Amino acid sequence: MAVKSPSNGPSGAESATASLDAATQANATAQANGAAAQAASVSPLYRPGLEGVPATQSAICDIDGLRGLLTYRGYPLEQLAAHSSFLETAYLLIWGELPTIFQLRDFEQEVQMHRRVSFRIRDMMKCFPAGGHPMDALQASAASLGLFYSRRALDDPQYVFDAVVRLIAKIPTMVAAFQLIRKGQDPIQPRDDLAYSANFLYMLTEREPDPIAARIFDRCLILHAEHSLNASTFSARVTASTLTDPYAVVASAVGTLAGPLHGGANEDVLEMLEEIGTVEAVEPWLDQAIKARKKIMGFGHREYKVKDPRAVILQKLAEDLFLRFGHDAMYDVAQRLEEVAADRLGPKGIYPNVDFYSGLVYRKLGIPRDLFTPIFAIARTAGWLAHWREQLGANRIYRPTQIYTGSGERSWLPLESRPAVV
Ligand code: COA
């Protein structure tokens, strides 16, 4: 089908036919566009961001946003944070039940044995630009695991167990390795005598951590291990549904977590607290920010309309850390901000979320800011893998539909016939 040509295009009968076709075409396009626009505006099915649309069934994690409750496999987060370890919680999330003493010992030993990464991966990481973001380095390194463990036997329980162990074991090693490599140093090997979190802090800082600091860090990992179907977990499930390998599943989730609307608000919280500066400055700062319709970092959540239960625990962890290792004046600013914001934002259901106190905790542990999101990824790998297994258990490839809002059908034009763009 021809369409109306610009002045330098075909002429005569050919051009007349083209004009007629063009009119029909324009009409069709207008109709199509109108129909699409109407469909988009009236369809009760279309929910931008899939807000409120159930996209899977899951037995892994439950959130009660009105009462501020979060459970993993039915266990309240507070109990897990108080009594469990990150590896035990990861086992619970991924296999659905708390491990027996033998299962836990076996899992811990397997993870410990697989912490090292191939020298080829370390060499590859040495070629990454030192100024690159650690999340990009992590995504590339996680994806590279698929090259080394390329067998894809998703229905073999041993393959699934080995893949889980490798990812849980190696992701922290890769985060720590990039931290040293970008400083121009060789990564250091994991230490077999150190537990999971203590070993990570050791690989990062080259110093054996204080046991209390290591335990607090382990509890932070528990708090970040899972949070139902958020963007990165949805990404993991979509990738899993194609039956690709678990390394691609985790790499795609890492890429999704890297975006500023998902991971990373805790970095912004620290910047905000530093900008406020003092306790006295909090109230005028907040009033000004609200007047300017600025989002207060570390506040608000799509699911919670009360204080995020993870923020409650993180605040206590921050206090424990400050008692042991010295106070942080920014904590006073944060507390005052929470207090003042309760009056102004509380009535709208806007309270501190998980990111409000976590940055203060990580800062006290001596962790650089741009590693906050990679640490989130270390923890969330447990949740992603739980969703990977669950997806495989009742798989149907994700293939949603769309409401087309583009042009109606039209014909390709040779270059010389296209109207000049002004
Ligand atoms: N500070 C001030 N106002 C906020 C706010 C915040 N942190 N979070 C939400 N609001 C307000 C919005 O301005 C909006 O007000 P309006 O109805 O008068 O326009 C209303 O609450 C709804 O906000 P919306 O962004 O649509 O809510 P959401 O559920 O889509 O957003 C977040 C959830 C987390 C994206 C949002 O609260 C936010 O951006 N928070 C700051 C960033 C952050 O801490 N992210 C980490 C999340 S764990």
- Pairwise CA distance, residues 19 & 29, whole Å: 15
**Residue written as token pair 């207090």:** 339
pLDDT score recorded for residue 38: 52
310 CA to middle of ligand 1, Å? 18
Select which of 218, 301, 308, 387 is catalytic.
301
pLDDT score recorded for residue 272: 96
**Chain segment 24-33, per-residue pLDDT in tens:** 444 444 444 4
pLDDT score recorded for residue 22: 43
Higher confidence at residue 41 or residue 357?
357
**What value does the mean pLDDT of the chain take?**
90
Residue 90 CB coordination number (10 Å) = 28
342 pLDDT exceeds 80? Answer: yes
- Pairwise CA distance, residues 328 & 322, whole Å: 7
284 CA to middle of ligand 1, Å? 20
185 CA to middle of ligand 1, Å? 41
- Pairwise CA distance, residues 378 & 95, whole Å: 18
**Chain segment 361-387, per-residue pLDDT in tens:** 999 999 999 999 999 999 999 999 999
Structure tokens at 397: 């490839």
| Contact (CB, 8 A) for 366 and 205 | yes
DSSP strand E in 44-176: where?
61-64, 69-72, 75-76
300 CA to middle of ligand 1, Å? 5
**Of the candidates 286, 315, 147, which has an alpha carbon nearest to the alpha carbon of residue 223?**
315
241 pLDDT exceeds 60? Answer: yes
Nearest protein CA to atom 3 of ligand 1, as residue: 295
Q: What is the pTM of this model?
A: 0.89
Structure tokens at 197: 């979190």
Per-residue confidence band for 11, with pLDDT thresholds at 50, 70 and 90 = very low
| Contact (CB, 8 A) for 179 and 378 | no
Higher confidence at residue 40 or residue 304?
304
Per-residue confidence band for 20, with pLDDT thresholds at 50, 70 and 90 = very low
Give the strand pairing for 61-64 and 69-72: antiparallel
Residue 220 CB coordination number (10 Å) = 26
Mutational pocket test of ligand 1: of 268, 288, 295, 308, the residue with most ligand atoms within 8 Å of the beta carbon: 295
Nearest protein CA to atom 39 of ligand 1, as residue: 295
Per-residue confidence band for 41, with pLDDT thresholds at 50, 70 and 90 = low
Select which of 218, 227, 355, 387 is catalytic.
355
Q: What are phi and psi of 118, to 5 degrees?
A: -55, 145
Q: Which amino acid is at 90?
A: A
Interhelix angle 119-126/134-148, rounded to 10 degrees, is 150
Q: Where are the alpha helices (DSSP H) in 155-242?
A: 157-182, 196-205, 211-223, 231-240
- Pairwise CA distance, residues 377 & 370, whole Å: 12
Mutational pocket test of ligand 1: of 268, 303, 350, the residue with most ligand atoms within 8 Å of the beta carbon: 350
CA distances from 158 to 118, 120, 140 (A): 21, 25, 25
Active site residue 83: no
**Chain segment 219-233, per-residue pLDDT in tens:** 999 999 999 999 999
Active site residue 301: yes
Q: How close are the terminal C-alpha atoms of the chain, in Å? A: 26
pLDDT score recorded for residue 120: 97
3 pLDDT exceeds 80? Answer: no
**Chain segment 114-164, per-residue pLDDT in tens:** 999 999 999 999 999 999 999 999 999 999 999 999 888 999 999 999 999
